[in-house]
Amino acid sequence: MIERPQERIHPDAKKVWRLNGMITLGVELLLVVGYVIGRLFVDWLPLWPIFPALGLFGVLGLLNIVIVPHIRMMYWGYAIKEEEIDIQFGLIVIRRALIPMRRVQHVDIEYGPIMRHFHLASLSITTAGSNHTIPALDIDTARTLHQQIATLVQSRDEDV
């Protein structure tokens, strides 16, 4: 097995992913409640879809809240090197991306309200053909990596 990159994302990533899973489950349950309310007013709506939907949403919610964050955390890793950015991620299929510094066009720091609550940010790395993200970094770490990558890319451009 290929060795995982050394750097890890912040441990609070699990909390963010769990909270996102809870929000998703809440929206799914609201859909079921909406269907039940619709069923009260429209007699021709069948009752049977409610129970499979509750079962499916319950199982998927349990997976997304309890199991998936732990597995995602196990496989996430990254390394910023002088010549390349190495990112490993995945859940069922583990992917490894090696991004040459000479291909990097743009680097962004992104965070929404949930990430901001946990003082986390994602680093988005754009090349001509793709976009890669390192999620759930401490905000200071994200800023440092942003500056480090920008400096490495600029020094690569000056060498050419």
Indicate if the pLDDT at residue 160 is higher than 90: no
Is the CB of residue 54 less than 8 Å from the CB of residue 35? no
pLDDT digits (tens, 9 = 90+) for 105-149: 999 999 999 999 999 999 999 999 899 999 999 999 999 999 999
| pLDDT given at position 3 | 72
**Six token digits for residue 59:** 């199982």
CA geometry: angle at 58 spanning 10 and 25, to 5°? 55
Q: What angle in degrees, to the nearest 10, is found between the helix axes of 50-62 and 13-41?
A: 170
DSSP state letter for 1: -
Is the CB of residue 38 less than 8 Å from the CB of residue 45? yes
Q: Mean pLDDT of all residues in the chain? A: 92
Question: What pTM value is reported for the model?
Answer: 0.87
Indicate if the pLDDT at residue 159 is higher than 70: no
Mean pLDDT over 81-100 rounds to 93
Share of the chain above pLDDT 90, in %: 83
